[in-house]
């Protein structure tokens, strides 16, 4: 159980609910404006606030009742999500600037296309970042090995998602089929990374102490 009192947890949950609701609604509203969809501004604001209230409200109620048990059960590396959002924003901003998707988008100024791409890239990047964290099985670290591992998995997941989207555009798969493709792909990547990690650990354990000392001295 958490050391915080139920009242303190209630205040924290309500604060998170207000911040998340305003943030999500504002983000969706900004995206509608960036894409020139002013008629969708009110629906986006309302839907963002409603979805946030439902999701964060349920999670907040569990937190108020059970304390930090929910946080321990759902071990999410939010640094992976935030860094993924940053990468996604940069990638999609550049892509939309260089290769506009529609004639209407091509008629816009480059900075407008960059903003549109960045907003979409934030959403996509969060998903890719969380997926990279799931496949990796480790929290993101900004040392050379941890950063290389994260970026490689991020790229692999991005390419895998691109292949799935391409298959959907060619065959027009139903949503259920897309879900059935995404889940096994993520699990297969997770299992593959686990096998590689175990093999690397076995090779490291098989080294003699002198070999390990020499290898560490080189790095």
pLDDT of residue 1: 44
Is pLDDT of 13 > 70? yes
Tokens of residue 168, six digits:
């959907």
Kindly state the average pLDDT of the residues 18-30: 89
Q: Is 128 exposed, middle or buried (0-12, 13-18, 19+ CB in 10 A)?
A: buried
pLDDT at 211 over 70: no
Tokens of 203: 């090779």
Q: What does the domain layout of the chain look like in residue ranges? A: 1-74, 77-219
For 10, counting Cβ atoms within 10 Å of its Cβ (0-12 exposed, 13-18 middle, 19+ buried), the class is: middle
What's the start-to-end Cα distance of the chain, in Å? 43
157 has pLDDT over 80: yes
**In Å, how far are 144, 200, 205 from 219, measured between CA atoms?**
11, 17, 18
- With cut-offs at 50, 70 and 90, classify the pLDDT of residue 39: confident
Among 88, 125, 120, 126, smallest CA distance to 101 is for 120
Quote the pTM value. 0.75
């Amino acid at each position: 159980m958490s050391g915080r009192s139920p009242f303190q947890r209630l205040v924290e949950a309500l604060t998170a609910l207000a911040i998340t609701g305003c943030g999500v609604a504002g983000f969706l509203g900004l995206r509608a404006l960036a894409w020139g969809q002013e008629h969708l501004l009110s629906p986006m604001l309302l839907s963002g606030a409603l979805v946030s209230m439902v999701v964060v409200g349920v999670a907040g109620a569990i937190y108020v009742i059970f304390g930090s048990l929910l946080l321990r059960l759902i071990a999410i590396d939010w640094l992976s999500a935030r860094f993924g959002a940053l990468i996604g924003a940069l990638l999609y901003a550049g892509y939309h600037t260089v290769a506009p998707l529609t004639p209407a988008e091509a008629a816009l100024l480059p900075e407008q296309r960059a903003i549109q791409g960045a907003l979409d890239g934030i959403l996509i990047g969060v998903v890719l970042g969380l997926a990279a964290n799931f496949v990796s099985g480790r929290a993101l670290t900004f040392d050379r090995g941890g950063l290389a591992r994260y970026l490689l998995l991020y790229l692999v997941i991005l390419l895998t998602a691109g292949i799935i989207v391409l298959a959907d555009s060619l065959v027009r798969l139903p949503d259920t089929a897309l879900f059935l493709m995404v889940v096994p792909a993520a699990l297969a990547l997770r299992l593959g990374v686990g096998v590689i990690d175990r093999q690397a650990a076995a090779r490291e354990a098989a080294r003699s102490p002198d070999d390990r000392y020499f290898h560490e001295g080189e790095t």
